[in-house]
A and B are shown apart, each in its own frame.
Chain A
Amino acid sequence: MKSSLRVILGFLKKEFAQTLRDPVMRLFLFGAPLLQLTIFGYAITTEFKNLKLAVLLQPDDSVMRELSGHFYNSGWFTRAEAEQGDPEKALYSGAADAVLIAPPGGLTKALGRGNAGLQLLIDASNATKARIVEAYASSIVQKYAASRFPAREPGPGLSFNVRILYNPSLETSYFMVPGVMTMIIALITVMLTGMSMAREKEMGTFETIISAPLKNSEIVLGKTIPFVVLGMADALLVIAAGLLIFKVPIVGNLFVIFAASFIFVCTAVSAGLLISTFARTQQQAMMGTFLFIFPANLMSGIMFPIENMPLLLRAVAYINPIKYYASLLRNNMLKGSYPVVVLPDLAVLTLMLLVIVFITIRRFRRTLN
């Protein structure tokens, strides 16, 4: 037992030395995640702002002018130009995202005759954006009409008193940072383990390890523990950055977050090792890593909703460990550690870890013997 410990410590020392002595590797391991987290956290918003709106109106149309002022002062729209005769041209050339067109003869006159209709041309080449533009525009027009024609406002009506929980100001970084953290930790850990093993195989140093008088379990642990330690260091670094730089709240239990991170890092390391057992060259390991990490990141619910996927693809998303870690991080940070929410995710993640470790050890044994 004592000698096993020494063997594993030996591995630990060797892997650390090999990985950390290289400044480029240090940069990839610690610099890149921090930089990426910071950039993505600051840059990304899910809100649409600075939408380019052109308004077509007659110079003497005072109501329309006032209404267009409400559009530009809403903070969502910026000014753009469009031609009176060919409003679609501005959309075509990309000069505007939407063109608001007054009724023929002007809005002022049309209102004098009764109800008036405005037309809004929206560039729908980005469907999400188009839908948002329409929602913004209807709410501005409705609000304007209600304030200008209070007498004509119909009597009974319904309004929703909406309260948004956990992230009331819809701060995008609260939502993005846990997601980006998940993707970065997964990417680095799987890649590091998979490529490092494949490299030893390709260079033949793995043969040396096999021929050394070591137990299989010692080799497996010796090749995984260093990467778990490195992965955890990265996870802690990224979590700390999320807290310090973006002030993402941790409503839940910090211990649960650590436990989840540990289980997830172990899972990712095993996945990397598993990929490397299938690969004879680094190129194949790279292919395997890419084929795992790219879909796993996209199917994790971080950027794209899982619940909208067709059933078969949803099944794929549900066997993705990244999905559970992302949901654990998000829930623990923003909602809190309610056992009903956290325990199922933790249980599934642990189960996945066990399954992957089991398969990896079986595959590994075949490689060794």
Chain B
Amino acid sequence: MSVILQTTDICKNFHDPVTVEILHNISFTVQKGEFVSIMGKSGCGKSTLLYILSTMDTDYTGQLIIDGESMENRKEKELARIRNKKIGFVFQFHYLLNEFTVLKNVMLPALRLGEFSEAEIVDKAMKKLDILGIKELAEKKANQLSGGQKQRVAIARSLINDPIIIMGDEPTGNLDKKNSQIVFDTFSQLSKEFQQTLLIVTHDPAFAEGTQRIIEMEDGKIVKQ
């Protein structure tokens, strides 16, 4: 099994107004195909950690290696490209662009990557929507969907460039029980059928129970993994 993501002694401090330690020596690895969840109470630093792992937050010390490449001293442009190609992200809120159709929303990251022609991307996007069972919604505008549907579109969008890892920041946090279950089932399906690597931050114990490995955090430290 190959290592997809590895962190060594990641620390982060907020300096305003006084220095507060948010993360302290976080070290763990995620193997290919794993379905990992990060658990912890509000304010324990789990989301902060996830944004560091996603390369969006660069203000930290320690080492982050994604797919064998160190993320140290990279330019903003390079990081954007890595996010685009290798990382799929699902947020608590769906963040779809209301002016675009579902299909276009899913296609956007692939269009940015520009490795395939538009026709190929349409084809790929339709396949992803099919996997998530929302193919028939492709031509609808994003603001015409229900909450659960929007979140599934967001997952389809995260899949479009066949990322090596999908990160989720409380992807079920805004959903009712039924829709949470659907989203969880979708993640399990991706993990089982496509060996998709998943790293999901959650505070929902029921969700975490269903994952292969749970990393528990408290006060900026990993207490159990």
A, B bound: no
Which residues of B pack against A, CB within 8 Å? none
Which residues of A pack against B, CB within 8 Å? none
